[in-house]
């Protein structure tokens, strides 16, 4: 095994642990489809094609709620873990860059192309479209949440890149922090893990870790960039599933009720207004 591959595996495993630790420290999640505390078995999964929450009509309102929902007490623990790991990683930015950078190798080139935002976004859009047509509630929910997570993550990553304005290690531009490739990968992995558990989460986080390593190997990002990207992606993915899975709120505003009253001597209609 080539030395760079050994290094990639080591760092990839370390980055992948971020998702595991964040999940372990966080509170138990609501079931993403039913809103309950525990995920139902396959026999208990709702058979309806539409759960009333993840609908096309509610797409934009849910997108806004997910964007704002990142700022929640639910994300405090994962944010602290990710922030600490990112801070530690910053101490080794230059050492890791010297250790693993090999921009011309096919490993980084392949993952850079395959995990490009345009490619990922197009694939998710297709999955979302198919999810609208099938009678598979969990698949419909995960594809809906994937599209939300991707859009929200791209928005936050783009904003942070412009604000931080950090130069890439290869000097290409000043869009190094955070890694967009890593944040997208971890956002999608978090959604998969929240819906399907660790049978999907483990390979998803492993793949996300390899995408993060490819950014180091391509010398496009520092270690702290990909750690920050992983943290951002996890927070977004986690938030989207939580927000989109919340029970629908009761209609707001006054509610009028009419109740007939029938006795032996009278007939009446009682009107009531509840605010």
Kindly report, residue by residue over 102-127, the tens digit of the pLDDT.
877 766 677 777 788 889 999 999 99
Greater pLDDT, 129 or 3? 129
Tokens read off for 252: 């707001």
pLDDT interval class at 169 (50, 70, 90): very high
Q: How far is CA 252 from CA 62, 89, 189, in A?
A: 17, 48, 36
- What is the separation, in whole angstroms, between the first and last Cα of the chain? 70
Kindly report, residue by residue over 192-210, the tens digit of the pLDDT.
999 999 999 999 999 999 9
């Amino acid at each position: 095994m080539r030395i760079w591959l050994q290094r990639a595996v080591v760092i990839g495993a370390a980055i992948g642990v971020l998702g595991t630790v964040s999940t372990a420290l966080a509170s138990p999640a609501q079931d993403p489809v039913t809103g309950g505390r525990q995920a139902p078995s396959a026999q208990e999964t709702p058979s309806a094609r539409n759960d009333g929450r993840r609908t096309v009509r509610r797409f934009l309102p849910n997108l806004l709620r997910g964007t704002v929902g990142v700022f929640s007490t639910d994300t405090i623990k994962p944010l602290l873990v990710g922030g600490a790991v990112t801070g530690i990683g910053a101490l080794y930015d230059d050492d890791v860059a010297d250790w693993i950078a090999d921009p011309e190798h096919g490993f980084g080139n392949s993952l850079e192309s395959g995990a490009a935002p345009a490619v990922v976004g197009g694939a998710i859009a297709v999955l979302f479209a198919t999810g609208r047509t099938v009678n598979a509630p969990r698949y419909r929910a995960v594809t809906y949440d994937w599209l939300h997570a991707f859009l929200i993550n791209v928005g936050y990553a783009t904003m942070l890149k412009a604000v931080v304005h950090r130069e890439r290690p290869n000097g290409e531009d000043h869009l190094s922090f955070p890694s967009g490739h890593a944040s997208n990968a971890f956002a999608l992995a978090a959604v998969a893990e929240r819906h399907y558990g660790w049978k999907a989460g483990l390979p998803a986080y492993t793949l996300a870790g390899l995408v993060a390593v490819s950014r180091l190997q391509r010398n496009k990002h520092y270690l702290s960039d990909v750690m920050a990207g992983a943290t951002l992606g996890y927070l977004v993915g986690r938030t989207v599933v939580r927000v989109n899975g919340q029970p629908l709120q009761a209609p707001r505003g006054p509610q009028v009720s009419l109740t007939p009253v029938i006795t032996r001597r009278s007939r009446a209609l009682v009107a009531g207004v509840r605010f």
